[in-house]
Amino acid sequence: MDTKRWSSTVRRNCTALSLVALAGFVPVTAQAGPSGPDVSSWQHVDGRMIDWHAVRAAGHQFAMVKATEGLHYVNPYFVPDSLLMRTAGVARGTYHFARPELPPEPQAALYAATVLGQNGPLDLPPVLDLETSGGLPPDALIDWTQRYLNTVQALTGRAPIIYTYPNFWKTAMADTSLFTRYPLWIADYRGEAEPEVPGNWPTWTFWQTTDRGSIPGIGGATDLNLYNTAQGDFARFANMPSFGSS
C-alpha cells in the first residue's frame, strides 16, 4: 500500500492457496465492480495536488487515503485530499499504517482523531493497514490487531476493513481465521483472475491488483483496487445512497 515501505517482490512471490469452503460458509463468487486508487504522500510528486475531478472523470468511484502511521505521523496531504475527494464525488476510505511495536490503543485514537469520523456521506469503513509485525510473534500480533480493531470500532462506530497480503497473513498472523467478520482488502499482484485469500475469509471485499497503475490526475505510479460486488451494493457500503454506478 505504502509503496516505499515494503517490497512488492515479496507480495508477487506469494504462493497460491487453494480456497476450500469451510463448514458453515457458502463460497461466494467474486465480481469486480467499482475501482479506485489508494494514495499517500508519495503520490504527491513534487508537492503537487491530486486532481480528484480527473480521477472521478476516469471512472473511479472511490479512493483510499493514508491518514496516520504509528503514534506520531499524520499524512500532510490527508485533509486537502479528503476535502477535494468530496467535492469530486469520490468515496473516501482512510487507513492507518500499523506499527505493532507500539501500543494499539493510542494508534487507534490518533487515527480516529485525524479522520474525524467515518460515518458521513461518501465514507467507507476505517482501514487497518497491517503489513509489518513490529517484531511480535503471531500470538502477540493477533492480540495487538484485535485490540486495535476493537478500539477503532468503538471510536468510529464501524467495523474496520483489514488490509494485508497473503504471505504476511500466513506467516506473521499464523493464517488465523479469527478475523473473518471484518471485510478483507487483499494485495495480490500475480495477475490471476482472483486474488489469493488467506485466513479462511470466504471472499475478498477489496483487491489491490497492482502498485504500478496509472490514473489521470495522479502523478506517477499508484496502487489500483477493485471492489467485490458480491459483498453487496457499493453505494450502501460507502454511505452513498444517491451515488450511481458508472
Q: Any idea which residues carry the catalytic annotation? A: 38, 129, 131
In the numeric block, which cell numbers belong to residue 140? Answer: 502477540
- What's the length of the chain? 246
Residue 146 burial (CB count, 10 A): 14
Residue 72 burial (CB count, 10 A): 10
In the numeric block, which cell numbers belong to residue 96? Answer: 492507518
What spatial distance separates the first Cα and last Cα of the chain, rounded to whole Å?
25
Whole-angstrom distance, CA of residue 25 vs CA of residue 181: 12
Whole-angstrom distance, CA of residue 131 vs CA of residue 99: 9
Within 8 A by CB and 6+ apart from 230, the residues are 28, 29, 30, 31, 203
Phi, psi of 164 (to 5 degrees): -160, -175
